[in-house]
Amino acid sequence: MAQHEDTYKPGSRLEQWLDERLPLTRMMHGQFVDFPTPRNLNYLWTFGGILTFCLVIQIVTGIVLAMHYVPSDKLAFDSIEHIRRDVNYGWLIRSVHAVGASMFFVAVYVHMARGLYYGSYKAPREVLWILGVIIYLLMMATGFLGYTLPWGQMSFWGVTVITNLFSSLDSIIPGLGTKIVTWLWGGYSVSGVTLNRFFSLHYLLPFVIVGVVALHVWALHVVGQNNPTGIDIKTKSDSVPMAPYAVMKDMFALFAFMLVFGWFVFYAPDYLGHADNYIEANPLVTPPHIVPEWYYLPFYAILRAVPSKLGGVALMFGSILVLLFLPWLDTSRVRSARYRPIFKWLLVLFFFSFLALGYLGSKPAEGVYVMWAQIFTTYYFLFFLVLMPIVGVLETPSPMPRSITESVLGEKAASSAMAAKH
Ligand code: HEM
């Protein structure tokens, strides 16, 4: 872990006793109070804390829901209604969990976009970033499994469509894909058996996420936080202790986030879901448009942009896996897009394409929608695989401050901080 001043003083005799035997409080104090954070962090750096909050909320509400939920094809749908109507505060707990899933994804997208813009994936934060991508994959899996549980029409047909994607492997090894799908379903169609195993895995994965988040935060505390300039901390005046400065800012942002969260929970708890999920699953009636939750839509658009099923599946998984290689695809020596005049606009265009793909994913896969999805999918891959490596070499970065202090206080203050160091 990064070295810094240790201001921990055991307050009571008990703390002192513990400190001499297991210096846990000293370690926590070092990592979450004394820890040097860049003095110029903006509000985009508060989303890591917000994500931690979301994870805890999902686990706590999920455990309570599981006390009343019944993972059976006969009772699952009714048990959700029972939770909403009969269980004390069940309506609240269920809405917090359902809206919470969406809020979690809002936060993770902001968190990832921040990382992309300020080059937080670049050395020495490669492992931190890769762990982030693993968390994101786990979040997607957990969300998908969870959406099955209410056993509504979208649950049932969403699972059917997505699990069926594996059958595309039949075109490589005949029979393999079908075998995998049957194995996943636990039968020859999506059924109560599928629901039961999905419930079990939906309960398990959040705890796996907790484990990976612990590694993520550990890796962060080894290399230290990036910041809007992308310049490393060089002198003491470049940083402030995490508490109270960063912690207070995190708290303020968290309360603002909770206001939005609360608005959805209390005023529009079903707005982010699909109305068809309030119709009980019926294997004999296919909904006219099967759409996943909003946070999967860009990937759904990529899947359907390709005429071949296997090609679509490969591109869809490829669009996430490519993120693992960003630290090496980006050849620029400058981290922050703030000082990268060309890359900045290419990245803005990438964000636009991603949002556009999200919109297209919600539309039927026909005509002009498919054409646009193909254009934006092409840009998605072009951006990472071609533009990122080339622009990093060709682009001339704009003038940068010499230090974090200079970016905040100007040249004079930065020079005296440097002089004080020597
Ligand atoms: C449950 C989900 C996650 C949690 C709880 C979490 C937690 C955190 C925390 C507490 C921080 C430090 C504060 C901050 O910079 O905002 C952080 C930083 C970071 N996270 Fe995450 N994270 C999650 C998901 C992700 C994902 C999906 C990615 C990327 C794919 C990611 C990439 C990063 C990077 C690159 C940093 C360092 C940013 C910097 O210092 O500039 N994280 N994360």
Q: Where are the domains of the chain?
A: 26-292
- DSSP designation for 280: B
Q: Taking residues 408-420, what's their average pLDDT?
A: 83
Dist CA 260 CA 254 (whole Å): 10
- DSSP designation for 22: -
340 close to ligand 1 (CB < 6 Angstrom): no
CB 117 within 8 Å of CB 159: no
Q: How many whole angstroms from 219 Cα to the centroid of ligand 1? A: 10
**Which tokens go with 310?**
């296997």
**Which tokens go with 165?**
């994607």
Amino acid in the structure at residue 271: Y
Q: Taking residues 301-327, what's their average pLDDT?
A: 97
**Which tokens go with 360?**
């297209």
Q: Taking residues 302-313, what's their average pLDDT?
A: 96
Q: Is 290 helix (H, G, I), strand (E, B) or coil?
A: coil
- b/e per residue 10-25 (b: at least 16 CB within 10 A): beeeeeeeebeeeeee
Residue for token pair 């968390």: 135
Q: The domain 26-292: what is its CATH number? A: 1.20.810.10
Tell whether the model's pLDDT for residue 2 goes beyond 60.
no
| pTM given for the model | 0.96
Contacts (Cβ under 8 Å, ≥6 apart) of 311? none
3-state class percentages of the chain: helix first, strand second, coil last, to nearest 5: 70, 0, 25
User: What integer best gives the mean pLDDT of the chain?
Assistant: 96
Q: What angle do CA 385, 390, 393 make, to 5 degrees?
A: 140
230 close to ligand 1 (CB < 6 Angstrom): no
pLDDT at 422: 67
Closest C-alpha residue for ligand 1 atom 29: 132
Per the DSSP assignment, residues forming a β-bridge with 37 are 240
225 close to ligand 1 (CB < 6 Angstrom): yes
**Mutation pick for ligand 1 pocket among 57, 110, 111, 250 (CB with most ligand atoms within 8 Å):** 111
What is the share, in percent, of the chain residues with pLDDT greater than 90?
96
Name the nearest CA neighbour of 331 among 269, 394, 405, 420: 394
Amino acid in the structure at residue 215: L
Tell whether the model's pLDDT for residue 132 goes beyond 70.
yes
Closest C-alpha residue for ligand 1 atom 39: 226
CB 301 within 8 Å of CB 318: no
**Mutation pick for ligand 1 pocket among 51, 321, 330 (CB with most ligand atoms within 8 Å):** 51
131 close to ligand 1 (CB < 6 Angstrom): no
What is the number of the ligand 1 atom nearest to the C-alpha of 115? 35
Q: Taking residues 266-283, what's their average pLDDT?
A: 96
What are the phi and psi torsion angles at 136 (to 5°)? Answer: -60, -45
